[in-house]
Structure 1
């Protein structure tokens, strides 16, 4: 539901009832992940999409029916159909959709949750998507860092268990379905809960205030990253040269990296292709639990850089994490093309993609979505991307 938070926030502030259709389960090749939602208000206005257009008409009718009848939440499953006139997904997968009526006046905690999303603050919303009929669709608002929660998914014990799960998913930046309860202790009622998370933006750290960095900062901003450009030369590291970056820092790259916060969703791109900057920076970056580390330069530069890093004591298992020459082989030449090459590799790495044309592959086009914020839940498989020949040093 957080994909349409702006509109839902307005409807909740106006105490306007609406029907909410949420993708709660996905199998096979489906266009959108669990947590994606569509909503219809009492005037028939619709916002959002759950399939890219394939089944929106049928889901809209379900929403209108739930609003009109004011009854229980309903479930529907949509899959592939060979009949051109049948309702179904053209991509070959299946989605499970929960449709429920939301009365904002009865759920004031939703306003607070949506307000956090609109304001860019991290928050989780836990939604019961399977369980007893009287609990189906109930929500729990879990803000970051407070230890508190609002709303209810049943009773005090269930709320505590679900809130703990929601905090764990929020820390990891994942929207996912979790199973809780079913025991005789803290939470006897078995529930399946979809935890929607709005985490802080992942970081893209660009080291080297070169022309490529400006294009890459624009591409990173477009993908939703919080972009930092850092260079040791103050005359190059200026806001005027990098208007699309969230921050521009004049400092030695490794010194800045030592003091800044990173996590498993952080992508680090070294564009300096200068050993005096690269070696201390990459030696540190490869020791950190970040999601991606790439370095620009020719293959000759890469070989020299690897030798310098070995001499600096960087072990082989860490060197294997380095994506260099950086980017996928798109034949890129301009800074803008190079930025697409680099971000394409980052996206492929996040989702364990091959980087090959889809026309050369078989099987589902849309792989199961592992996270919504940037990192796989397990260690990525090892694959070797093609390096892009950006600079010949």
Structure 2
């Protein structure tokens, strides 16, 4: 749901009633990941997507019905071999979807709208926050919500069990720190459990969807060249906060890089020393000059970032490695370097080269090979887990 936070925050500010359908879990091949959402307001306006088109119509009608009845529901959609034209995912997967009404005047929601509105507001402003919502088990009613921030107390309640709220808040904060969205199962001593809730050693289980919203990951492009201008566009397309850095003020100008979030004039290694980067950060070194590259890469390869790539020919790469070894880098640290940067696409133009770099960044993040899918027998979604049963239980 937080993927459409900006629009939903406006709906809340306007006092509009709406229902939101959120992907809770996926099993097998599915087009959207947990947290993806579709929302429908009282006038029938729809935003977002839960399936890329496979089941949008059916989910739209469920949202309309939920908004009218005021009831939250959990539905599963999958592919049927007996009727390939039935509502389902033709890609062969199964998705569990939570549909929750969010109505301005609803005393029965236990303050859920207030909590949801606060979460949407935080996400729309780019603040780090995690939203935990009941999707099953021995907690409160479906859709009850808890908002967790990196620091400070949590907001809302899952149904009145203070110990459960504290436990979920701690687990959700850990998921937020890791930038993870997915289902969470915790034990609870609740006396009464909904039909079908599984027994655990702790008594019952509570199943929740935790959605994490964090500021966008950083991409820093070093080297204000024409290839950098194309790479900025690819970085923005992939959802990065993109900075261009170069020591030459005549080249590093906002006019040359209008789509960049920042353009910095500084020596690359000196600028990097001032930055705090997390494990999602991406560093692309396009300076192609040893006096810039070596001191920069000496630092970059020792940072806990997701990707470090450097442009240059194979001869340049070998010379660069020798210089970095002389600077004291280990073979393990050098193995983190993607150089020559990008996938083998036969790229020639700056735009084609930027596409190859973006492809390598995605492949590195998701565990892909970069090989054509045609004729391959590898998974399409490399980060997909082993098929599971409903709400993450073993199939």
- Contact 2:134/2:140 (8 A) holds in 1: no
Counterpart contact for 1:28–1:364, Cα < 8 Å: no
d(CA) in 2 for partners of 1:364, 1:316: 31
Greater displacement, 4-13 / 300-309: 4-13
Match of 2:158 in 1: 153
Encode CA deviations 1:52-111: one digit per residue, 9 max, x unaligned. Answer: 11111222222233233334x322211122323211101111111122322344421222
- Kept in 1, the 8 Å contact 2:54–2:87? The answer is yes
Q: How many residues align?
A: 366
Counterpart mapping for 1:369-380 below 5 A: none
Q: CA deviation at 1:17?
A: 3.1
SS at match of 1:181: strand
- Specify which of 301, 316, 322 is matched with residue 286 of structure 1: 301
Shift of 1:227: 1.0
The structural deviation recorded for 1:133 is 7.0
User: Tell me, which stretches of 5 or more residues in structure 2 are unaligned?
Assistant: 106-110, 191-201, 386-395
Partner of 1:8: 8
CA separation of 1:275/1:96 partners in 2, compared to 1, >3 Å: closer, same or farther? same
Which of the numbers 335, 347, 351 marks the counterpart of 1:332? 347
Does the CA contact (< 8 Å) of 2:133 and 2:144 recur in 1?
Answer: yes
Give, in whole Å, the separation in 2 of the partners of 1:8 and 1:217: 28
Q: TM-score, normalised by structure 1?
A: 0.87
Q: Could you tell me which of 228, 231, 246 is aligned with 1:216?
A: 231
2:183 — aligned with what? 177
Shift of 1:369: 5.1
Deviation at 1:135, TM superposition (A): 2.8
Which residue of structure 2 aligns with residue 391 of structure 1? none
Unmatched 5+ residue regions in structure 1?
371-393
- Map 1:351-370 → 2, pairs under 5 A: 351-368=366-383
CA contact (8 A) 1:33 1:369 kept: no
1:121 lines up with 2:127 in the alignment = yes
- Secondary structure in 2 aligned to 1:192? strand
Does the Cα contact within 8 Å between 2:84 and 2:90 map onto a contact in 1?
Answer: no
Paired position in structure 2 for 1:89 = 89
Query: Residues 266-277 of structure 1: matches in 2 within 5 Å?
Result: 266-277=281-292
Residue pair 2:367, 2:382 contacting (<8 A) in 1 also: no
> 1:376 maps to what in 2?
none
Alignment partner, residue 77 of structure 2 = 78
Residues 113 and 143 in structure 1, CA contact (< 8 A), matched pair in contact too: no
What does residue 20 of structure 1 align with?
Answer: 20
- State the Cα deviation string for residues 154-176 of structure 1 (Å, max 9, x = none): 32222222222222222222212
Q: CA deviation at 1:189?
A: 5.4
1:343 to 358, 362, 365: 358
**Is the Cα contact below 8 Å between 2:186 and 2:207 reproduced in 1?**
yes
Aligned to 2:199: none
Q: Secondary structure at the match of 1:332?
A: coil
Shift of 1:368: 3.7
In the alignment, is the contact (CA less than 8 A) between 1:29 and 1:368 conserved in 2? no
Residue 67 (structure 1) aligns with = 67
Residue 200 in structure 1 maps to residue 205 in structure 2:
no
8 Å contact from structure 2 (residues 132, 211) kept in 1: yes
Partner of residue 331 from structure 2, selected from 291, 304, 316: 316
- 1:99 corresponding residue in structure 2: 99
Mapped partners of 1:140, 1:306: distance in 2: 50
2:147 aligns with: 141
Question: Could you tell me which residue of structure 1 aligns to residue 267 of structure 2?
Answer: 252
- Following TM superposition, by how much is the alpha carbon of 1:269 offset from its aligned partner in structure 2, in angstroms? 0.7
Deviates more, 1:314-323 or 1:103-112: 103-112
Matched residues in 2 for 1:246 and 1:55: separation?
36
Matched, 1:36 2:36: yes
Name the Cα RMSD after superposition.
2.0
Q: CA 1:132–1:15 in 2, change beyond 3 Å: closer, same or farther?
A: farther
